[in-house]
Amino acid sequence: MNKVVARFSDGRLVKGSTSDFVPAKEFFHIAPADAAKGTKPTLVHVKDLKAIFFVKDFEGRPDYTPKNEFEGDRAPQGRKIKVVFADGEVIVGTTQGYQPGRAGFFMVPADQADNNIERCYVVAAATTEVTLL
């Protein structure tokens, strides 16, 4: 099971766990973290999402302001990329699978100090700009 935060294009979000997210599929299921035991998982259509964030925990660090820059001399794995979402949010990171025309791609945020987000799957339709740096 992967801990995830699904952020929808309309601003909603669902925190929970998934075991069936596959980028090539049109939908997957999330068992919401706050649901009562025995509750059926929620069906999520990828086309409705902005991104799905794979996280270490659901608490995060509310006192931390994420940075969109690479720190130190450590060479990042993959290509550097900047993503601008339709809602104005910007994420800088690295990717090994971005190709224009695909429905989406995985990326790892540059800010490793914000250790809650391990990686995310960006839904291309929710972006206004994707730039390889």
Residue pLDDT, tens place only, 8-23: 999 999 999 999 999 9
Percent of the chain residues past pLDDT 90, beyond the cut: 63
pLDDT at residue 5 in the model:
93
Residue 47 included in any domain: yes
CA distance 118 to 94: 12
CA distance 112 to 132: 19
pLDDT at residue 59 in the model:
73
Average pLDDT over residues 44-70: 82
CB 30 within 8 A of CB 12: no
pLDDT at residue 131 in the model:
93
- pLDDT bucket at 110, cuts 50 / 70 / 90: confident
Supply the DSSP symbol for 60: -
Going by their DSSP bridges, the two strands 90-95 and 104-109 should be labelled as antiparallel
Residue 86 included in any domain: no
CB 105 within 8 A of CB 98: yes
Average pLDDT over residues 113-118: 68
Residue 11 included in any domain: yes
Residue 10 included in any domain: yes
Residue range of the domain that includes 28: 2-59+96-125
Residue 133 included in any domain: no
Q: Determine the distance from the C-alpha atom of residue 35 to the mean position of all C-alpha atoms in its chain, rounded to a whole number.
A: 22
pLDDT at residue 18 in the model:
95
Residue 49 included in any domain: yes
Residue among 93, 132, 129 nearest 114 (CA): 93
Domain count, the chain: 1
Residue 71 included in any domain: no
Average pLDDT over residues 69-88: 82
Residue 85 included in any domain: no
Phi/psi at 99 (5° precision): -145, 125
